[in-house]
Amino acid sequence: MNTLRIANGRVLRPDHSIAEADVLIDQSTGDIDRVAAPDEIDATAEETLDAGGGLVVPGLVNAHGHAPMTLLRGYADDKPLDAWLQEDIWPAEGELTAEDIRVGTELAAVEMIRTGTTGFVDMYFEEPHVAGVVESSGLRAMLGHGFVSVGKSEEGAREDMEKSVNFAEQYDGLAGGRISTAVMPHSLTTVNEELLREAVERAREADLPVHIHANETEDEVAPIVDERGVRPLAYAEDVGLLADGDFLAHCVHVDDEEIELLADSEAVAVHCPASNAKLASGIAPVAEMLDAGVTVGLGTDGAASNNDLDMFDEIRDAAMLGKLGADDAAAVPASAAVRMATEGSAAALGFDSGRIEAGANADLAVVDLDAAHLTPEHDLVSHLAYATSGQDVRHTVCDGEVLMEDREIQTLDAEAVKERAEEQAEALADRVA
């Protein structure tokens, strides 16, 4: 057994207690073999990472995003979703090349590894290039080709849906099992009913989950209520969504009936607080969803509506906005927010990660605790939610492989990626202008 030992640190246990413990990783399986006090582990490890003065936490899982949009970070801000997409983002995306997608994903991978994220979701296009970066970066991901029918001929829309199903079938399980896939219709209003039903049917035939944007803005809800006389999630359930493995991004404008539908289903809601705030989409009723027993994951959405991919920022936003939305300072406490970004997101994607215990994927990060902004140590879970930045991460490990040691990324040349991304983004903006 090739072993990696995360030594001399403290560990965040699944019950959110803190233990002085080493983590022994079996690199042949990529799983955690043991978590125990140092003197209880006599195995000699081929490789050791020093977690002294640090806290070993589950690698964060970014359960909704559009990775290549890092090239559009800061390209268009300060407008609501529809105007932002129609006036800026979709015109720019029309000029994106496959190389842009590859470089934008590399930049996203550098940012995620640097900030302790070990798993992510991508809904975009040119996904084979995204998959190539997942393979080389060492991250875990659930990928899908996002498709719409609006603005397309019936034939063009069907082709796009086929592309989404075919990609999901062909890429599931690649990169040594670190890639999983989903069929990804863009949203309940940008894909017509016939195509949506067919996409869901094809996903079930292929035993694949479906990922979709849902109830993000009032503008997405009203047309469905007006046309169909039912709430969007009732329509989603009727087309066969809300099945086990399905996960819905946003769920901002959901009423009690829809929260109950989610709670009674196997589907997972993915909360994107920063994106919802930045686009003024609203504050999702996360406290109510959690109280109703809905599984809630956490995601940044794209870097053009956040504008970073730091999931520690997202944890803090979830806690803060959850309180504001519930008008209750006790809502979405620190532990609940941390759990959303670890176990909640892992559940959304069916990842066996999100917790530090034997048998789980060895997807973890080590947070340096010696900074002034993490002093004193009354409560480390409080620090994870209210004070930790992704820049505090020292090491990142995914599938038992070291992706970053002492803030040095091992699987990508971070400086070269940043340079390339600058060049590609500049050329893209020139093409759009």
Query: Is 345 within 8 Å of 61 (Cβ atoms)?
Result: yes
**Interacting partner of 73 out of Zn ion, ligand SIB, none (Cβ under 5 to 8 A depending on kind):** none
20: its two tokens: 């002085």
Give me the amino acid identity at 331.
A
Helix (H) / strand (E) containing 198: helix 193-205
Q: How far is the CB of 418 from ligand SIB (least distance, A)?
A: 22
- The region of 86-94, 150-158, 293-301, 327-335 touching Zn ion under the rule CB under 5 A is 293-301
Nearer to ligand SIB, 141 or 369 (CB): 141
CB within 8 A of 369, min separation 6: which ones?
Answer: 53, 54, 55, 377, 380, 383, 392
Looking at 5, 102, 114, 213, which residue binds ligand SIB (CB under 6 A)? Answer: 213
Query: Is 217 within 8 Å of 252 (Cβ atoms)?
Result: yes
Is 93 known as a binding-site position?
yes
Q: What string marks each residue from 156 to 185 as x (binds ligand SIB by CB under 6 A) or -?
A: ----x-------------------------
Nearer to ligand SIB, 23 or 75 (CB): 75
- The region of 89-97, 135-143, 345-353, 409-417 touching ligand SIB under the rule CB under 6 A is 89-97
82: its two tokens: 């529809």
How many residues touch Zn ion under the rule CB under 5 A: the total is: 1
DSSP string, 124-172: ESSHHHHHHHHHHH--EEEEEEEE--TTS-HHHHHHHHHHHHHHHHHHT
8: its two tokens: 């001399």
Is 213 known as a binding-site position?
yes
Instruction: Say whether the peptide bond before residue 376 is cis (omega within 30 degrees of 0).
Output: yes
> Alpha-carbon distance 60 to 363, whole Å?
8
Looking at 122, 237, 246, 301, which residue binds ligand SIB (CB under 6 A)? Answer: 301
Measured from each CB, the residue nearest to ligand SIB is 146
Give me the amino acid identity at 218.
E
Looking at 181, 300, 305, 306, which residue binds ligand SIB (CB under 6 A)? Answer: 305
Q: What string marks each residue from 110 to 149 as x (binds Zn ion by CB under 5 A) or -?
A: ----------------------------------------
129 binds ligand SIB (CB under 6 A): no
CB within 8 A of 334, min separation 6: which ones?
Answer: 319, 379, 381, 382, 384, 385, 386
301 binds Zn ion (CB under 5 A): yes
Q: How far is the CB of 81 from ligand SIB (least distance, A)?
A: 6
Is 211 known as a binding-site position?
no
304: its two tokens: 């053009």
Is 378 known as a binding-site position?
no
Q: How far is the CB of 176 from ligand SIB (least distance, A)?
A: 26
Residue among 200, 325, 201 nearest 251 (CA): 325
Instruction: Say whether the peptide bond before residue 307 is cis (omega within 30 degrees of 0).
Output: yes
> Alpha-carbon distance 411 to 4, whole Å?
17
12: its two tokens: 């965040």
Is 253 known as a binding-site position?
no
Looking at 11, 55, 107, 148, which residue binds ligand SIB (CB under 6 A)? Answer: 148
Q: How far is the CB of 299 from Zn ion (least distance, A)?
A: 8
Is 237 known as a binding-site position?
no
Helix (H) / strand (E) containing 61: strand 60-62
Give me the amino acid identity at 267.
A
Give me the amino acid identity at 52.
G
Nearer to Zn ion, 106 or 301 (CB): 301
How many residues touch ligand SIB under the rule CB under 6 A: the total is: 19
89 binds ligand SIB (CB under 6 A): yes
- The region of 88-96, 166-174, 238-246, 283-291 touching ligand SIB under the rule CB under 6 A is 88-96
Is 399 known as a binding-site position?
no
211: its two tokens: 């990922």
Query: Is 18 within 8 Å of 61 (Cβ atoms)?
Result: no
Q: How far is the CB of 299 from ligand SIB (least distance, A)?
A: 10
Known binding-site positions: 64, 66, 93, 186, 213, 216, 301
Per CB under 6 A, residues contacting ligand SIB are 66, 81, 89-90, 93, 123-125, 146-148, 160, 186, 213, 216, 275, 301-302, 305
Q: Using CB under 5 A as the criterion, which residues of the chain lie in contact with Zn ion when the complex forms?
A: 301
